[in-house]
A and B are shown apart, each in its own frame.
Chain A
Amino acid sequence: MSDFTSGFWGFYISALTLGGVAFCAYILVKMSRRKAAGDPDQTGHVWDEDLAEYNNPLPRWWVWLFWITIVFGLAYLWIYPGLGTWRGASHWSSREQYEGEMQVAERQFGPLYQKYAGVDLKAVAADPDARAIGQKLFMTYCTQCHASDARGGRGFPNLTDDDWLFGGEPDVIKTTIMNGRNGIMPAFGPALGPEGVRDTANYVRSLSGLGHDAARAARGKAHFTTYCAACHGVDGKGNRAVGAPNLTDAIWLYGPSEATIAETITGGRNIVMPAHKDFLGEARVHLLAAYVYGLSHPEPGRRVAAAK
């Protein structure tokens, strides 16, 4: 017990606890008998000259229950850590209990996931049972950002469209979930100035054939080559190695309006996908990766053969 700031508090708590138990025992002994006087049907307490209290005695077996609780309390304090720095005869701790319960759960549910570990992700993605498990995992751990239908939201990619920031091969998806991703677009507002940003935004819109100001787009092209092409490529098709999105398609992480694109260029973006390796373990991530792959590659169901 390292929670105490000084050794004194351990003794203080022990003394209070044991003193409390001893006091209860003392009260039980002291109050169970009396030097009786007069009518046994009355407690002998009299108030306001003649207001007496009837004696409605508790059954004696009830008193034994009190003794049992005192014995139970002392035994409990002996076995469990309740007295200051005393760790208890059983050396019990909530952390160990939690870890033990997690191990039991792992033994119970582990085989369910283990069945698919090592199986090719495409085969897992085609297995309806694995998909059902994958969906449950997805609903629990992924929907907060990617939404229940896996179509994402503003700043969180759609996982059903087979357009990928970091790559959509099954192994890459698994790597993404295992280790997380961080896509950073620096802020170009200071370098380009407001007009430069608008010019560049118009050029970006022209890449995917959206309405734009041709003069601005022409000026923006130069800015794009200078500042953007390093990551997004000269043709604007992006680079999966750094998670730079393809700007020539109709898929937008933050939105296609000129204002939104200008906001992105001015302030930059920083997208974070957290790592799940330590949190979920590889076996669950394997199933999740297969489920996510299956979202954009629906296959007729084929069950994975039982593990050898």
Chain B
Amino acid sequence: MIPVAAAQADDQSLYEVRRKIYPRAVGGAFARWRWTLVFATQLVFYGLPWLAWNGRQAVLFDLEARKFHIFGLVLWPQDFIYLAVLLVISAFSLFLFTAVAGRLWCGYACPQTVYTEIFLWVERRIEGDRVARMKLDRSTGPRKAALKAAKHGAWIAIALWTGFTFVGYFTPIRELARASLTFSYGPWETFWIFFYAFATYGNAGWMREQVCKYMCPYARFQSSMFDRDTLVISYDAARGEPRGGRSRSADAGALGLGDCVDCGICVQVCPTGIDIREGLQYECIGCAACIDGCDQVMEKMGYPKGLIRYSTESALANGWSARQIAARVLRPRVLAYSAVLAAIVGAAGTSLWHRAPIKMDVIRDRGSVAREVADDRIENVYRLQVMNTDERPHRFTLEVEGSEHLRHVELLSDRQPLEIAAVASEPVAVRVRAEPHDADGSQKIAFVLRTVDGDASRPIVIHEKSRFLVPPSLAHKDSHDGR
């Protein structure tokens, strides 16, 4: 035990009180990249639901009808695998980018970063930059109340628009817009618009870096993707130390100082409030604001840029050049991630390209094993769920392929040829008759669904396997049958 000195005893909280961070505005190459991505992602997010395609909303996830429309593609619950594939692709992209250059996603494209950037911009336009905001927060009076009201009003407006857009992916957005005029949303639409708006407002306006520090799981497992050759935002301590203020005309060498002028800009611009000069920390989201800030100061001082820069642990230790860093990018870890990613993207693309708009599920009737019919044959009953995900009707023929243990295999249906309306799913009851000749039990058969409209030379053909049951009692005929 640590000896406890009674005089030192002090009542202290075990929980951390959030220290409000006032990030200072910064411009530069990386800030421009971030704004480019803010515009690109938000243009897509806010704009996509308004696009029309074939007389319907181009991108609409219709949960009630269980149909996901993505331009020409209509995905059904049976296509759920594509969602899994999308998540796998996202995960491997994340692994790859992280292995190469750290938290690129966090710093530039993550919605938390993007919306915080937007909300910070609003905050800056209304309350001013860092120093003005700090001063405003310390003051009291009507001016503060007015500015705060204006800021929160603007934030809430953006948040509501975001919530509205989000729900617009699931409910036709034009109907939703008309419903907004009279405020006649359904209960779930109301809930999700306000919930999503609340989450946007709370996370981008209030929680900010707390989301990254305490809530985001990715922030905590990213380090397993890092290695000594991963590009991270690094302070070149060898060049910067010993830090210290000096006038622009002073000769740093003569003063025994490094290039760091200890201006504190890198700390002021940091959205998570850390000091990058202490090295890589888990709070660093890799936004490169400190690089932009420091480069401006270096320029003013007449020093070379890049005291804080994207570099790797190995490069800093060995003094490597950019060329030497680049040479280490194609290392086994990166190549492995790239290969897996390319394979999955290729497989998913091929599968999507060859995806047939027709599906069929075969359900053998469980109630009856088999029927005995005339001419020594046995009959099994099947229910085929034929799904036409195409946005036009189709006509089909149904056939059956038997196994070598069955003779005279025949399919009987009341609906030949079969017609299924556009984007519809219908149960079709069919009978299969066959004569078993040398085996009983379960025999392999397959149903073949073939389109007979459209391009006759390239019909869509669906094969679905099933089983034909031959009960032992029916496989060997009764000798007193008299047939």
Contact = CB atoms under 8 A, between A and B. Distances in A.
Contact of B381 (A33, A149, A205): A149
Contacts of B366: 144
Given A37-B5, A148-B383, A148-B427, A60 B16 contact: yes
Nearest to A55: B14
A88 B481 CA distance: 70
Contacts of A38: 2, 4, 8
Interface in A58-83: 58-63
B249 interface: no
Nearest to B366: A144
B18 A150 contact: no
A40 B383 CA distance: 70
A103 B187 CA distance: 19
Contacts of A58: 14-16, 214
Interface string A94-137: 00000000000000000000000000000000000000000100
A34 B15 CA distance: 11
Contacts of B429: 147-150
A35 B365 contact: no
A155 to B, nearest CB: 9
B2 A59 contact: no
A143 B365 contact: yes
Contacts of A36: 8-12
Given A148-B365, A210-B482, A40 B13 contact: no
Contacts of B458: none
A280 B480 CA distance: 44
Contacts of B210: 59, 61
Nearest to B431: A149
A32 interface: yes
Interface stretch (B43-51, B125-133, B260-268, B367-375): B367-375
B430 A149 contact: yes
Interface string B375-389: 000000111000000
B482 A31 contact: no
Given A135-B427, A147-B367, A148-B381, A57 B14 contact: yes
Contacts of B214: 58-59, 62
A52 B1 CA distance: 10
Contacts of A258: 478, 480
A147 B365 contact: yes
A151 interface: yes
B84 interface: no
B368 A34 contact: no
Given A148-B429, A205-B482, A257-B478, A61 B18 contact: yes
B20 to A, nearest CB: 12
A257 B480 contact: yes
A305 interface: no
Contacts of B14: 31-34, 55, 57-58
A145 B366 CA distance: 9
Contacts of B5: 37
Nearest to A255: B372
A154 interface: yes
Given A151-B431, A212-B482, A60 B367 contact: no
B146 interface: no
A247 to B, nearest CB: 16
Contacts of A156: 367-368
Contacts of B368: 147, 152-154, 156
B273 to A, nearest CB: 13
Interface string B452-483: 00000000000000000000000000101111
Given A38-B2, A255-B372, A59 B430 contact: no
B17 interface: yes
A132 B382 CA distance: 19
B482 A211 contact: yes
Contacts of B10: 35-36
Nearest to A211: B482
Interface in A240-284: 255-259
A192 interface: no
A44 B5 CA distance: 13
A143 B15 contact: no
B482 A144 contact: no
Nearest to B18: A59
A133 to B, nearest CB: 13
B2 A37 contact: yes
A209 to B, nearest CB: 10
Nearest to A135: B427
A139 interface: yes
B399 to A, nearest CB: 17
A145 B381 CA distance: 12
Contacts of A212: 482
Given A147-B367, A154-B371, A37 B8 contact: yes
Contacts of B18: 59-61
Interface string B208-239: 00100110000000000000000000000000
B482 A151 contact: no
Contact of B2 (A35, A46, A62, A205): A46
A221 B482 CA distance: 19
Given A35-B10, A151-B431, A211-B482, A145 B367 contact: yes
A157 B427 CA distance: 22
Interface in B363-420: 365-369, 371-372, 381-383, 414
- Which residue, of A59, A135, A154, A210, has the highest number of chain B Cβ atoms within 10 A? A59
A80 to B, nearest CB: 20
Contacts of A46: 1-2
Interface in B40-77: none
A139 B367 CA distance: 12
Contacts of A148: 365, 381-383, 427, 429
A63 B383 CA distance: 56
B15 A60 contact: yes
Interface in B433-454: none
Contacts of A145: 367
Nearest to A31: B14
Given A143-B367, A257-B478, A151 B16 contact: no
A33 B11 contact: yes
Contact of A59 (B16, B365, B382, B481): B16
A34 B365 contact: no
Interface in A190-245: 205, 210-212
Contacts of A44: 2
A198 B379 CA distance: 28
28 contacts: A32-B15, A34-B12, A34-B14, A35-B9, A36-B8, A38-B2, A38-B8, A44-B2, A46-B2, A59-B16, A59-B18, A62-B15, A62-B214, A144-B367, A145-B367, A147-B365, A147-B381, A147-B429, A148-B381, A149-B381, A149-B429, A151-B431, A153-B368, A205-B482, A211-B481, A212-B482, A256-B481, A259-B478
Given A36-B12, A57-B14, A139-B427, 11 more contacts: A36-B9, A37-B8, A59-B213, A60-B13, A63-B15, A146-B367, A149-B430, A152-B368, A154-B371, A212-B482, A259-B480
Q: Which 4 A-B pairs have the closest CB atoms?
A: A211-B482, A153-B368, A148-B429, A149-B429
